Structure 1
Amino acid sequence: MSETVDATAPKKVLIVAGNAATSPVTGWPVGFWFAELSHPYWTFVEAGYDVDIASPAGGDLVPDGMSDPEDESGYSAHDLISLGFKTSEKHAALLKGTKPTSEIDPAEYDAILVAGGGSPMVTMIDDEALHAFVARAYEAGKIVALLCHGTCILLKTRLSNGDLLAKGKTWTGFADSEEMYVEAAVGQTFQPFWIEKEANKLEDTNFIVSGMWKPFAVRDGNLITGQQQNSGAVTAELVVQALGQ
């Protein structure tokens, strides 16, 4: 007798966030960007989805300082969704003791979303195990979404046939213009590389961007990408459109 699928079961989404690290460029601590986790989370739960949060190495997650709505810089003080997530005991607990992706089967999820922040440029770019995890999800027909600096792994993630996952795809990520803006603001080199610059060196892929800091996301098949931290909700909305209720 064939196994039946419960059509009434809620969709399941896995959010993967970067582990805490230190930038080799600035020497500053880096982590995940809060809005790139909390805004998609909110969109997914509002759609009735079950959402889990994991990380490549597992353990407690730490946000980039300026993405914390209570950071003294005030940079993200407007981000009430992240503030609510942080100050809710139930939700803050989701950032503690996260399961490593090595212990997760992507086939158990309808979609995965890789959040950005400073950490991915340091911890994810050369994480072949994570790349393989994302490739398995993609080849299984799952929706694969990546946000902001989390899209950096598309520069190196390869499918089982050896092709880059991004081959023949239109995608987006943190723009060179935005990197220039950040470097001017902090007065020094900030990232070890720029995603748009590296993407433009690849053959057979189409990297596009919208205006600086404008919400922007693009879907190409079961690949969905968002430009920067203001694109969390629109990226998640494309996932919801792809999966349905």
Structure 2
Amino acid sequence: MKSKFVFRVLFSFVVCSFAQAEIRNTLITPRGKALIILSSQAQLGSSEHKTGVWLPDATHPYFALLNAGFETDFASPKGGAVPIELRSDPRNMNAMNADDAITLGFVSNPRTLEKLNNTLKLSDVQAKNYSTVIFVGGLAAMYDLPNDPDLPRLFKEFWTQNKIVGAIGYGTYALLKMKTPSGRDLIRGAEMSAISKEEEQKMAQLMGWDVALLAPKGFLQDLIKKEGAGYKSGPAFTSFVHEGVQKHFISAQQSFSGMELGLRVAKLLTGKPLKPVVPKTEKFIKPRSASFKQPVN
């Protein structure tokens, strides 16, 4: 009974905080606009398992940016309503984040919920209208974001305009093969974070799934290394955010890092303008030797 009372108090506080943030956002001089890119994928590949956006990955950065005075739009490959991973929705009795008052406040507010039901279509989005872009995670992101035809164009616009590019958890899949306007691989030689191998294994156990459903092409941590990047992380299921590529590229480990990611982005946006990116030595690239060879039986 006591826990229910505490939750209700916390929920009321978060709802009030959302309202206050929205009021402040209308009263202060607008600091700019942010773009959060979501997935339109509704199932895990060709399996029968339903999936969608992992809500905290989107709601926590959104709240942090809103509270800092940034208006935020949501966009997705198909536009319109995006599918939601039910286990990330605290309204669902089987949610893994039932005590996530921030996300519950978001989905309980008709104004913010409408943003998820009416996302912009990526083909209609232009980087010049935004100060930053964040690629949101959830298993769905590994399927449609890497192959979306509009993302390379949009990414190059943000990069050319010296704007911050962020990613959280599985949202990093969108950037694994992304190239800069000069044709250089974005993450090659850089350092970045994303969901760890340990976390993917534990998530599979919690969901009762074969780990291959979460990592059909291998663990994301390993894929990042294979692309020539240095992988950074904190302890499992804790907040960890890494600022790389001269602070133009900010990556967060998983949904527990969403609030910190939003706060870091907001702080950089309100500080000194970022300098143009100057390519550095690709120190994480391994020689073409044993690192990519298959074991010999």
TM superposition score normalised by structure 1: 0.91
1:243 aligns with 2:269: yes
User: SS at 2:79's partner residue?
Assistant: coil
Counterpart of 1:214 in structure 2 is 238
Q: Aligned equivalents of 2:65 and 2:156: distance in 1?
A: 22
Q: Aligned equivalents of 2:195 and 2:176: distance in 1?
A: 13
Shift of 1:161: 2.0
Selected match of 2:226 from 201, 216, 228: 201
Write the letter of the residue equivalent to 1:49: F
Q: Could you list the per-position Cα deviations for residues 9-57 of structure 1 after superposition, in whole angstroms to 9, with x for gaps in the alignment?
A: 4221011111132112642112111111111111011101111111122
Q: Aligned equivalents of 1:135 and 1:215: distance in 2?
A: 29
Shift of 1:190: 2.1
Unaligned runs of 5+ in 1: 1-7
Note if contact 1:131-1:153 (Cα within 8 Å) is conserved in structure 2. Answer: no
Counterpart of 2:202 in structure 1 is 181
Decide whether aligned partners of structure 1 residues 114 and 187 sit closer, same or farther in structure 2, where only a CA change above 3 A counts.
closer
Q: Could you list the per-position Cα deviations for residues 195-217 of structure 1 after superposition, in whole angstroms to 9, with x for gaps in the alignment?
A: 111111122x2121111111000
Q: Aligned equivalents of 2:225 and 2:46: distance in 1?
A: 22
Selected match of 2:213 from 154, 179, 190: 190
Q: Taking every aligned residue pair, what percent have the same amino acid on both sides?
A: 25
Decide whether aligned partners of structure 1 residues 40 and 74 sit closer, same or farther in structure 2, where only a CA change above 3 A counts.
same
Q: Aligned equivalents of 2:43 and 2:95: distance in 1?
A: 22
Shift of 1:139: 2.4
Shift of 1:162: 1.8
Shift of 1:182: 1.7
Q: Could you list the per-position Cα deviations for residues 99-139 of structure 1 after superposition, in whole angstroms to 9, with x for gaps in the alignment?
A: 11110111211111111112111111222421332232122
Q: Aligned equivalents of 2:265 and 2:195: distance in 1?
A: 19
Counterpart of 2:278 in structure 1 is none
Q: Aligned equivalents of 2:256 and 2:46: distance in 1?
A: 24
Note if contact 2:88-2:95 (Cα within 8 Å) is conserved in structure 1. Answer: no
Larger proportion of strand: 1
For CA contacts below 8 A with separation 6 or more, give which structure has more relative contact order.
Answer: 1
Decide whether aligned partners of structure 1 residues 176 and 169 sit closer, same or farther in structure 2, where only a CA change above 3 A counts.
same
Counterpart of 2:68 in structure 1 is 47
Selected match of 1:233 from 259, 283, 286: 259
Q: Aligned equivalents of 1:187 and 1:100: distance in 2?
A: 32
Decide whether aligned partners of structure 1 residues 9 and 86 sit closer, same or farther in structure 2, where only a CA change above 3 A counts.
closer
Note if contact 1:158-1:165 (Cα within 8 Å) is conserved in structure 2. Answer: yes
Unaligned runs of 5+ in 2: 1-28, 272-297
Write the letter of the residue equivalent to 1:112: V
Write the letter of the residue equivalent to 2:101: L
Decide whether aligned partners of structure 1 residues 210 and 131 sit closer, same or farther in structure 2, where only a CA change above 3 A counts.
farther
Counterpart of 1:124 in structure 2 is 145
Written as runs of structure 1 = structure 2, the 5 A alignment for 1:107-122 is: 107-122=128-143
Write the letter of the residue equivalent to 1:11: G
Q: Aligned equivalents of 2:89 and 2:243: distance in 1?
A: 28
Q: Could you list the per-position Cα deviations for residues 164-208 of structure 1 after superposition, in whole angstroms to 9, with x for gaps in the alignment?
A: 1112321101111111112233241322232111111122x2121
Note if contact 2:73-2:119 (Cα within 8 Å) is conserved in structure 1. Answer: no
Note if contact 1:56-1:102 (Cα within 8 Å) is conserved in structure 2. Answer: yes
TM superposition score normalised by structure 2: 0.76
Written as runs of structure 1 = structure 2, the 5 A alignment for 1:142-161 is: 142-161=163-182
User: SS at 1:30's partner residue?
Assistant: coil
Q: Which runs of 4+ in 1 moved over 3 A?
A: none
Name the count of aligned residue pairs: 237
Selected match of 2:33 from 9, 12, 17: 12
